Each structure stands twice: as structure tokens, then as C-alpha cells.
Amino acid sequence: MTDDTKIYVANAPVSYGAFEVTVGKDPNIPDGVALLDAVASAGYAGIDLGPAGYLGTGAELARRLDERGLGLSGAYIEFSYHDPGSVDTTMAELDAMLDTFDAVSSTGSAP
């Protein structure tokens, strides 16, 4: 490793119990803004997207990440390979996710 090497560490909403099954259903799960605050205050450089819309969307999400110095590090889509009928729905979810990544690409924050 050189002095120029940087390692960025990110976290994910699921680490706080927030995922598709719990968000909006379990009152003990923090809202997206509170979770972003917790991740930033813990010193992480980025966060995984989590459930669609949970952390915000478009310019709102970009602003929230930028205000906290966080980058968007990844995302997850469940793809049911065993169900060919789910391909169209999954591809629409993927398109929306890619739009989200595009919307936050201007923040300049790592990772």
C-alpha cells in the first residue's frame, strides 16, 4: 500500500434492520434521514441504497448524501431467475435503480 491509497468503507440500511420486509412496517426501524445521519456520524464514506425510495430519490437523495459527505456505494435487486414472468418487473426496477445512481453521480462523494 502507498500513502496515496485510500480505503473507503460503506454501510447499508440492512445493518440497521431496514430492508424491504421491515421499512414502513416495523416502528423500530429508523426513517431514511435518521439512518443517513447515523451512518455519517459513525464515519462511513458511503451507503448502500436500501429499499427503493427509503433514503430519498433523485435530487432529494443527492442533496441528502452530499450534505453528509456520503457516496452511494451499491444497491440490491432481487432477481427471481426461476420465474421468467418476473423479468419485466425486475428490469423496470433495475432501470429505476440506475436512474437513482445517475441522479446522485454529481455529488462527487466517494465511494
Instruction: Express each pLDDT in 11-67 by its tens digit.
Output: 999 999 999 999 999 999 999 999 999 999 999 999 999 998 999 998 999 999 999
Query: Predicted confidence band at 7 (pLDDT cuts at 50, 70, 90)?
Result: confident
What domain count does the chain have?
1
Q: Is residue 90 part of a domain?
A: yes
pLDDT band of residue 80 (cuts 50, 70, 90) is confident
Residue 3 scores a pLDDT above 70: no
In a domain, residue 2? The reply is no
Note whether residue 3 is domain-resident. Answer: no
* Residues above pLDDT 90, as percent of the chain: 59
pLDDT at 110 over 70: no
Residue 72 has pLDDT above 60, yes or no: yes
Any domain includes 30: yes
Decide if 78 is inside a domain.
Answer: yes
Does the residue 98 lie in any domain?
yes
Q: Give domain status of residue 1, yes or no.
A: no
32: containing domain: 10-107
* Residue 5, in any domain of the structure: no
Residue 1 has pLDDT above 60, yes or no: no
In this structure, the dihedral spanned by the alpha carbons of residues 53, 60, 106 and 38, taken in order and rounded to 10 degrees, is -70
